Amino acid sequence: GTERHESRRIDNQLRGRAGRQGDPGSSSFFLSLDDDLMRIFGSERLAGIMDRLGLQEGEVIAHPLVSRSIGNAQKRVEGRNFDIRKHLKEYDDVMNLQRTEIYALRQRVLKGENVKDEVLDQLAAYLEDTIYKYTADGKYPETWDLNGLYDELQTRCGTTYRIPESELSSKTQDALFDDVWKDVKQHYQDKEVRFGEDAMRRFERGVSLMVIDNLWKDHLYEMDHLKGGVQFRAFGQKNPLYEYQREGLRMFEELRSSIAREITGLVFRLEAVEEQKAPIAPPSSEIHSDFDIFTSGAAPQQAPGPQPRRQLITNRDSGGKPQPVHVGKRVGRNDPCPCGSGKKYKKCCGAT
């Protein structure tokens, strides 16, 4: 071999390929202190030893100490490469868990299994997040942002649910969720009956795939940005891997909430529109009299009433035999006008 590789596996492959038949033999590698492996690990130390021993340049050195030094350098390189791969895998595990969940959801939608159940689960998740968002300031109903909650529910779900004044003081978050869920689910069932179950399932499948794909692509882009910038948190005495895991989990929770919110809004925004066909105009039966543009100065008046359709072909005699068409000489634009005015044709009759 002309050099030693940084991985012992590659050197062993070279030895194996040189003697595939099982014959006894030996292997020799010719190295230089300028090789990458020797330059990175131990070349300066070996060069100093050679200078002290008085070895000349180009002299062959064969000693077990050199082989052991090279083997130790290979072990250090392999350990460094293993740590790099392990570090990258720890980052990839974060995305792999998210990818597994999103792809499983998308695969269920593609197979058409329990599309309605998936949509109802997304609807329930959206209602839970929304109710907690507007009622999380305090446990007392008087501190809830009910106007914001009503506007959100009416915009996304089309429901006009309101808490009765007599029940407001005793209402809890769980009871509020049950009431809103009952009202929204009834609205969903009415829409399903109005559009038909098959049409509703097709629409839900298409909406789910569109929302998941678009939001997942945006999430991947944001995760790439996070991975590129989280390394700088090491300057603040923070572990970049832990920060990446924590921020990635938070962003994934936001992704799931966004998926539920968008699917809910599109499903309840569906409305049936009756297709209106454009009226077909009846064929015109108006008859125009003969009109000569060169002899008449005004357009002819329309007939006051329907008249029989005139014969379009006028170059026939009474017997029905067509008459020959006489074609005269073509007049050029700069030729004298045939009318005898003395002007060019383009300035006289040809101008019209």
190 vs 155: CA distance, rounded Å? 18
Q: Is the pLDDT of residue 317 over 70?
A: no
pLDDT for position 311: 46
**Eight-state DSSP code of residue 344:** B
* Residues with Cβ within 8 Å of residue 237, at least 6 apart in sequence: none
Alpha helix segments (H runs only) across 136-172:
146-157
Q: Can you read off the two tokens belonging to residue 185?
A: 């689910």
Pair 307, 288: CB distance under 8 Å: no
255 vs 241: CA distance, rounded Å? 21
Domains and CATH numbers, the chain: 8-62 (no CATH), 89-268 (1.10.3060.10)
Q: Which residues, in sequence order, are bridge partners of residue 336?
A: 344
pLDDT for position 313: 45
Could you report the per-residue pLDDT of 19-64, keeping only the tens digit for each?
767 677 778 888 777 777 777 766 677 777 777 777 777 777 777 7
275: left (phi over 0), alpha (psi -120 to 50) or beta: beta
pLDDT for position 112: 74
Q: Is the pLDDT of residue 307 over 70?
A: no
In whole angstroms, how far apart are CA 82 and each of 36, 244, 295? 19, 21, 100
Q: Is the pLDDT of residue 251 over 90?
A: yes
37 vs 31: CA distance, rounded Å? 10
Could you report the per-residue pLDDT of 154-187, keeping only the tens digit for each?
888 888 888 887 777 778 888 888 888 888 888 8
